[in-house]
Every structure is written in structure tokens, then in C-alpha cells.
Amino acid sequence: MTTIDKATVTATLAPARVTEPRARFRDLVAAEWIKLWSLRSNTWAFVIGALAVIGFNVGAAWDTYRYWTARDAGSRADFVRDGIPLSIAFTANAAMILMLALSAIGATAIVGEYRTGMIRTTFTVVPARRSVMAAKVCVITAATTVFGAVVAAASFGLTQAVLSGRHIGVPIDHPGALRVVVASALLAPVSVLLGLALGTLIRHSAATMTANAVILLVLPLVFSADRHWAAVVDHALPTGAWIRLADIDQQGVAYPWTLTGAWTVYAVWALAAAAVAVTSVQRRDQ
């Protein structure tokens, strides 16, 4: 038998090599969507977080409604002009709850997979780690953007409905109202991406939650805006950006800054957190 004949026979008898099709990005997105909603804890976190945020805002509106007659004539006359209805539409306490809840959801989305070992299975099936994390980023960003929009819109509608009982509610086309709603809504995806990025780097639940709280709550308290250098740091934080966007009256601010700068801070934090989450998994083993 010639060499060519041997090669032909070998090729004929050898088992056919089956090549698995490469996972499409939309399939990865679908898988991450199933992961997100397959855990009851995530569903409950969204529900409880929404009720807590809306409850704080409506509670502030009801408190104003109830004790409206106890205010002096001057404060009642300047109530709408000073932007108080918009500050009640989404209060600082509600913003803190939203940031902590959403950053915790973002951290759990990745830390839980490292804790259970599911991340190893995922990366074994789909070696393209960056694609997997990019899909996760897309899913949680889309879900939390919708969540933030619903919560912010509901808070605005309900609070202004309560205040309208005293004829002090404002419509959505009131100057600055739409900005407050949009800024509060986008605080949700910014916070969840921060939690995801920190969870990808730290990979430990308690440490990640602590880091979230430090960035979102502690640093804004440490770097108060009464000195220029501290104001610069405060303006660069997500919390400082939200305060600037939600604060209609900038009088009395020692170091005022622009709305464009605040929107830029939002965008930079979101994009940087997404980049960290996607790229860090490629450089570290699971």
C-alpha cells in the first residue's frame, strides 16, 4: 500500500472532529439575564429597594403636607421658588438607600459566582471571559436603568400628588424637575456598575460592601465642600454629582460647579467601572 493510500485510509477511519459553535454575544446576554432573575434574592432586593426608596420620598412629602400649616408665611410663600418640592421628590436619604441597594446587587452578581464556583463553569464553557463580563455588564445596566426610571418616576408622581393637596406640587415640566428625575434614575446603573467592578476586584462579600459604603457614603462626608481641594474630590464622586444635579438652588454653595461636569462624573464612573469589570477577569484566574 502506498503512502497516499495509508493516509487516505487513516483519514477515512478516524472519527470526525466535532467543532462546537462559538457562543454568540446575544446567547451570553440571555444566559446572564437568566442568572440575574433565577435568584429570588435579586428579585426581593429590587422590590424591597424600590419600596424603601419610594417610601422615604412619599414619607417626606406626607410630613410636609401634615405640618404645612405650622410653617410661617414666609417659608410657605417661598416653598416652590426655593425648589423644595423637587428636593422632596427624591430625598438624600432615598438616594443613599438606592446607592447602597444597587451597589450590593452589582457586587452579588459576581461575588456570588466566585463563592459558589459557578464562575469556573462559565469560563470553562465560554473561555472568552471578556465577552461573558461584557454581557453581564449589559444585562445589569439595562435592568437597573429601567428600575431607576420606574422608581424615580413613581417617587416624583406620588410626592407631587401628595404636595398638590396643599397646592404646592409641581409638574414634570417645572424647571429642573426632569433633571432631578433623570439624575436619580441614572444613579441606579452607576451604583450597580460600581458594585460589580469592586466585586470583580475584591471577590469577597463583606469587603466589597464595605468598599461600596466608603466610596458612596463615607468619602462624601469626609471631603465636604467647604474647602477648594475637598470640593474638587467631592465633585468627582457619584454622590456629589447627584447632589449637584438634584440641587435646584445653588445659592450658598462655596464652590459651585456646572451641570455638565456632574453629568460627566456620572459617565466616567459608569464607563470606568464597566471597563474594570470586563478587563480584570482576563488578567486574574478564577
Tens of pLDDT, residues 46-98: 999 999 999 999 999 999 999 988 888 888 888 888 889 999 999 999 999 99
Residue 286 is predicted with a pLDDT of 52
Residue 285 is predicted with a pLDDT of 57
Model pLDDT for residues 231-268, shown as the tens digit of each residue: 888 899 999 999 999 986 655 667 778 899 999 999 99
Determine the length of the chain.
286
Closest CA to 82 of 203, 170, 178, 194: 170
Identify the residue with better confidence: 16 or 29.
29
Mean local confidence (pLDDT), 147-162: 97
Sign of CA dihedral 57, 59, 62, 68: negative
Closest CA to 189 of 246, 151, 233: 151
Is the pLDDT at 271 greater than 80? The verdict is: yes
Q: Which of 26-30, 77-81, 183-187 has the highest mean pLDDT?
A: 183-187
Residue 9 is predicted with a pLDDT of 45
Closest CA to 176 of 270, 251, 245: 245
Is the pLDDT at 38 greater than 80? The verdict is: yes
| Percent residues over pLDDT 90 in the chain | 60
Mean local confidence (pLDDT), 17-41: 79
Mean local confidence (pLDDT), 140-159: 97
Closest CA to 286 of 122, 138, 103: 122
Cβ pair 228, 255 in contact under 8 A: yes
Geometric angle at alpha carbon 242, from 97 and 92, rounded to 5°: 40
Q: What DSSP assignment string belongs to 156-192? A: HHHHHHHHGGGT----TTSTTHHHHHHHHHHHHHHHH
Could you give the 3-state DSSP secondary structure of residue 71?
coil
Is the pLDDT at 4 greater than 70? The verdict is: no
